[in-house]
Amino acid sequence: MDNIGLVCGSFHRNKVEEMIQHAQDEATKQNLDIIEIVWVPGSMEAPLATARLLEEENISGVACLGIIEKGETAHGMAMGQAVIKSLIDLQLGYDKPVGLGIIGPGAEPHHIGPRLEPHARNAISAIKAMI
């Protein structure tokens, strides 16, 4: 069994806690053990927390769970693109998979609920596939 970590954005804590439940269920199905859950203020802090987990020898991969809502400006889109690029760079730099379970950028309220489970499960499945 491979050990993995989760990095979770606390800005939408109630919804992300639901995502964690789906991620834990999927991890069990995929024979993965979530040994560490790190809460960060928002998606912007996810790359640093992910890097810290990837540095740990006993962590085989990390899933990032969160939500980047559509705002009135392009801030969320620009931030989301920077976060995703940083997570890809970390994946390549550490040669360990990073599962992307961040809904958005640009998510509107009606987009969020239906995406909580599939995004969480797909982030875990991606880690398993790449290990």
* 35 burial level (CB within 10 Å; 0-12, 13-18, 19+): middle
Residue 84 half-sphere exposure toward CB, CA atoms < 13 A: 15
Set 75, 110, 111, 119: catalytic member: 75
Check if 111 is active-site.
no
User: Environment class of residue 55 by beta-carbon count within 10 Å: exposed (0-12), middle (13-18) or buried (19+)?
Assistant: exposed
Residue 72 C-alpha from the chain's centroid: 24
The residues annotated as belonging to the active site are 75
